[in-house]
Structure 1
Amino acid sequence: MFIVSSAKIRSRIKDQLTKDYPDIQWQFCQNIEEATPYLPEADILLTYGEDLKPESIQVATNLKWIHVLSAGLDKMPFQAIKERNMLVTNARGIHQVPMAEYTIGMMLQVTRNLALIHENQKDKVWNRRVKMEELHGKTIGVLGAGAIGSEIARLSKAFRMKTIGVNRSGNPADHFDETMKISELDSLLQEVDFLVSVLPRTKETHQLLKKEHFEQMQEHAVFINIGRGTTVDQDGLVEAMRENQIAHAVLDVMEEEPLPEDSVLWEMENVTVTPHISGITPQYQDRAFEQFLSNLRVYRTGEGNYMNKIDVNRGY
């Protein structure tokens, strides 16, 4: 068996893999260009999913399985993959701890006015009239009640918040007081104090949230996007923020990344911009390889079920 990686893997993990699986031939590369000469013989490809092109699939004549070491599948050449009937799995679920903690952190930053407090410290201003709010008793709505959304809800319950989740079916999900279908979005918007989007990039979610949605929200409400920037009409959001339709927006993902230097979002006082880092921690690759090795056991033995098997027709 020949496994090729186009993703940069930590030396510690590479050493452990070659030690634990001496019967497997491993080829660790820094990028897809370096990996391309090895693709024709590869049985399995490890990738972050952003480097593959249809040409990569065409030359990988022996490739049977692609494991994506991230949750994002936006740039995967699914048409070429579908034609080859390849197995695709990803690392969905490993982001739930860091992304949930990021969400709680940002909610606290806004409610406790931490940005202003930091500015006052730099300017040596002693101002005890800085407005403070609480998370206690507030309502959070999460678009995407999967693993990440459920962890956000679990942590929110520690602050005694009401939790409402949104998924395709409307079926109950862990740690949510209520769940609803996306078709019920309008009624959700009017109720929440915090709206968090964990939605992936799909045809169904493209620019799902428009200016009129933010206009329906309460003026003190906060929007947090940690899913994909394409789920929001960014121009409509900018207009809504200029008109103070909601109090604050926290954006970890954008329509275009990196966010262009001339974007007005950088300088808007009621917007917090972070560079797509909500899921990044030192534990990332360890968690990703726990999932991969679980799937590798299934692949080699034919026993059990794959974690995070992707429907290549849907792209998720």
Structure 2
Amino acid sequence: MEVLFTFVPRENQQERLLAEFPEVNFRFLYKNKSFLPTADIVVTYGEDLTAEDIESAENLKWIMVASAGIEKMPHDAIEDKGIIVSNVKGIHKTPMAESVLAHLLALKRALPFIYRNQRNGEWNRKTKSSELAGSTAVLLGPGAIGSEIGRLLQAFGVRTIGCNRSGKKAPHMDDMVSFEKVLDVLPEADIVISVLPSTAETYHLLKKEHFRAMKEDTIFMNFGRGDLVEDQVMLEALKTGEIGHAVLDVFEEEPLPADHPYWKMDNVIISPHVSSHSGKYVERALDVFIPNLHAWIKGDTSPSNPVDMKRGY
């Protein structure tokens, strides 16, 4: 059996795989797909496979995506060949939840103001600090990541309202609504956080009327995918003061162009799609992959976290 990694794990992580699976021929090659024609399994971040690659992969049966997002993959080509796809849904919840809380606490406790004054050598106690406690947060996409964010927010005394396709209950949400009902709860929100994936249903889901429904001091945070909001809609909401602040980890165009207005806006924090980064990322991905590979070798071709290529998640 051949397993091709299109990224290179650390040496100790490679040794872990080699020791646990002596019967498997592993290839650890950074963006080198020369072994695709003979690979049975491919482990990838999901951004480096093309339809031509899938066509050349004669033996490929399973693609393990070491990421949650699959929007850049050649869906039709993969589906046509009946290749099984799974991802590592859930491993991002700790670093992403911590990133969200870090940004929120920084804004509420006026850390940017404090740091700026330190650089300028200015003793200024007019911080205009506020608190998380007693606020209300609307979380778009209360899955593994959103629920962990909700758990931490509740610990700070924040009321959480989850929003998903069905409106069905989710962990660590005080209330739930469906996408169709989100306009009803946005006027209550002090914080709006999205961790939604990119799908046909979530594409430009938030429109002008959604931002008009928010409070003037609402903090909007997008940690899911940039195509949730059309860029001009986001800009208009920020420029006209329909919302107070935006923390953006994802954008419609990445990297964000150097001449984009966001760079010079005081009410925007730009995070260059790094909220899930962690030194433990690949380690956690292998914790998902290794049990699935053991099961695969024994004939179980149903890995955990299967992805429906038609739905996009």
TM-score normalised by length of structure 2: 0.98
User: What value does the CA root-mean-square deviation take over the aligned residues?
Assistant: 1.1
1:109-128 residue pairs with structure 2 within 5 A?
Answer: 109-128=106-125
Indicate yes or no: 2:308 matched with 1:311: yes
Q: In the alignment, which of 270, 273, 279 is matched to residue 273 of structure 1?
A: 270
Q: Would you say how many aligned residue pairs link Structure 1 and Structure 2? A: 313
Q: Is the 8 A contact 1:211 1:233 kept in 2?
A: no
Equivalent position of 1:211 in the other structure: 208
The yes-or-no answer on 1:240 pairing with 2:243 is no
Q: Where does residue 46 of structure 1 map in the other structure?
A: 43
Question: Which position in structure 2 is the counterpart of 1:164?
Answer: 161
Identity of aligned residues (%): 44
Q: How far has the Cα of 1:305 moved from its partner?
A: 5.2
Q: CA deviation at 1:145?
A: 0.8
Counterpart of 2:130 in structure 1: which amino acid? E
The question of 1:143 aligning with 2:140 is answered: yes
Alignment of 1:1-316 (within 5 A): 1-31=1-31, 34-35=32-33, 37-303=34-300, 306-316=303-313
Question: Partners in 2 of 1:44 and 1:303 — Cα distance?
Answer: 14
Aligned partners of 2:178 and 2:109: how far apart in 1? 32
C-alpha separation between the residues in 2 aligned to 1:120 and 1:212? 37
CA distance in 2, matches of 1:191, 1:301: 52
- Consecutive unaligned residues of structure 1, counting only runs of 5 or more, are none
Displacement of 1:185: 1.0
Distance 1:304 1:7, change over 3 A: closer
What TM-score do you get using the length of structure 1 for normalisation?
0.97
CA distance, structure 2, for counterparts of residue 136 and residue 304 of structure 1:
47
2:202 aligns to what SS in structure 1?
A: coil
Alpha-carbon separation, structure 2, partners of 1:274 and 1:43: 37
- CA drift of 1:298 comes to 2.4
Task: Write the distance in 1 (CA, Å) between the matches of 2:218 and 2:111.
Answer: 17
Is the 1:162–1:177 contact (alpha carbons within 8 Å) kept by the matching residues of 2? Answer: yes
Residue 124 of structure 1: CA displacement? 1.6
What SS class does the counterpart of residue 190 from structure 1 fall into?
Answer: helix
- The Cα shift of 1:304 comes to 9.0
- 1:28 alignment partner AA: F
Asked if the contact 1:64–1:86 (Cα under 8 Å) also holds between the matched residues in 2, the reply is yes
Distance 1:22 1:297 in 2: 12
Decide whether the 8 Å contact of 2:198 with 2:312 is kept in 1. no
In the TM superposition, residue 20 of structure 1 has moved relative to its aligned partner by 1.5
For residues 241 and 292 of structure 1, the distance between their equivalents in structure 2, rounded to whole angstroms, comes to 42
1:213: Cα distance to partner?
A: 1.3
Deviation by residue 1:166-207 (Cα, 9 ceiling, x = unmatched):
111111111111111111110121111100000111111111
Unpaired runs of at least 5, structure 2: none
